[in-house]
Amino acid sequence: MPSRARGRTLMVVGLAGALALGVTGCGGPNAEQTASPATTTASAGASAASATPSADVSPSLLTATFTQADTDRVRARVARTNEVLGAAGWMVAVWDPYRGDILLGDGNAAPADHFRIGTVTNTMTAVAALRLVDEGLLSLDTTVDQYVQGLPNGDAITIRMLLDMTAGLPILTEDAAFMERYLADPNLAWTVDESLDLIRSLPPAHAPGERQLFNTSNYIVLGRVLEQVVGRPADQVIFEQVVEPAGLVTTQLPVDSALPEPAVPGVMTLDGVERTADLQNPQVPFTSGFAISTINDLRTWARTLGTGDLLTSETFQAQLPPESTEEPTYGLGLSNIDGWLGHSGYIWGYSTMMYTEPNSGAVIVTFTSGGPPDAETATLTMLQTVATLYPGQFGYIDAAAAGADAYLDEVAAGATPSGG
């Protein structure tokens, strides 16, 4: 993207930057609805399954139910985003206990379809680790060398630093030889041990605790920490600590490369050539991005994550990102965009945004197959959806969504998407 467009949309593209609202490389690695998402649903009231909002919910969030006009505006805005950025399939789902539900899509993906959620997996890995903290099996202040030996600065990097992206570990996805292999074949033969050995061989990104930098290496290492603490494979630990107690009935932590059916085909574009990316080796992203889920399960998980239901109050407070209406912030596997809590996820072929507004209990999940090789499409779609449905209530998001529109105008006029 030309520098003029990048400068104009700094807040938008910044969501894909150092605070982990977008990712690079391998991370980023219920009752099922069966109607085609090409058919819109917009219910004029709270769903019976909706979480009860807190008593201090802002009155401005309760002004009216969603109307057909609201739905049409969201559809028009996000459809253009996905068209301009070249998505192969998309969905937007909104659940607001006070205002109703909206489900939109282009017909190429359905609510029951499985897709890879990329670094949304970080939220599950983080909560699994934090539940071990609550059980007294792990301390946030323990250094990582107690569990994984030979890492650069391992005697100074704490579990907390891994979780909040301040560890400064070498960045696996910046190794050119590894990325060449991965981009050529996301289903390449690869193991977690190979990732750890590569991390050990690379220079640190920065000194421990010096700054916050999104880095999939942190959550790959955390997966091995989980295994060392519990003595079982990381997928089993996350299933026992998160997937099962949260009631995520369609979420899977795969041990092989296949997507469960029904599935959204993954699409990636490399050097101008579009290819399928359905088969991917989960050992590559590991616990930074290997999870597979559905729109409905992400609804459940967003609400559970945003309320800290699986954690003690003290640990949940430690997990929360700093509050800010000026920029996105990142906590322990959890990000905050203008009061919305959640995470983005990217992996080859798929991008996802999953966020909840804790005061109202509203949840937004956006999903895209294909598009630029980062979480940009789903990110812009989420921003535009919030700005369209809640105008004037989230100032940072309003400005970022306006920047997204300007950016899309320039892309449509011939500029290159930031990921392309």
Q: Tell me what the mean pLDDT of segment 160-183 comes to.
A: 96
pLDDT of residue 418: 55
Whether the pLDDT of residue 60 is over 60: the answer is no
> b/e per residue, 55-90, with b = 16+ CB within 10 A?
eebeeebeeeebeeebbebbbebbbebbebbbbbbb
pLDDT above 70 covers what percent of the chain? 84
pLDDT of residue 411: 93
Q: Which comes out higher in pLDDT, residue 286 or 16?
A: 286
Question: Which residue type, as a one-letter code, is found at position 403?
Answer: G
Report pLDDT digits (tens) over 223-269.
Answer: 999 999 999 999 999 999 999 999 999 999 999 999 999 999 888 87
Give one DSSP letter per residue of 160-174, joined into a string: HHHHTT-S----GGG
pLDDT of residue 83: 94
Q: By mean pLDDT, which of 47-61, 111-125, 190-204, 294-308 is the weakest? A: 47-61
Report pLDDT digits (tens) over 360-391.
Answer: 999 999 999 988 777 899 999 999 999 999 99
SS3 354: strand
309/42 Cα distance (integer angstroms)? 28
pLDDT of residue 50: 35
pLDDT above 90 covers what percent of the chain? 76
pLDDT of residue 116: 96
Cis preceding-peptide flag for 262 (omega within 30 of 0): yes
User: CA dist 55 to 58, 65, 100, 320, 359, Å?
Assistant: 9, 19, 18, 20, 8
Place of tokens 């301390």: 139
pLDDT of residue 63: 58
Q: Tell me what the mean pLDDT of segment 175-193 comes to.
A: 94
Task: Read off the DSSP letter of residue 336.
Answer: E
Whether the pLDDT of residue 399 is over 80: the answer is yes
User: CA dist 229 to 136, 165, 199, 220, Å?
Assistant: 11, 21, 21, 15
- Nearest CA to 38 out of 95, 94, 79 is that of 79
- Nearest CA to 191 out of 258, 287, 253, 283 is that of 283
Q: Are 49 and 101 in contact (CB under 8 A)?
A: no
Report pLDDT digits (tens) over 67-120.
Answer: 999 999 999 999 999 999 989 999 999 999 999 999 999 988 888 999 999 999
pLDDT of residue 110: 86
Whether the pLDDT of residue 417 is over 70: the answer is no
Question: Which residue type, as a one-letter code, is found at position 148?
Answer: V
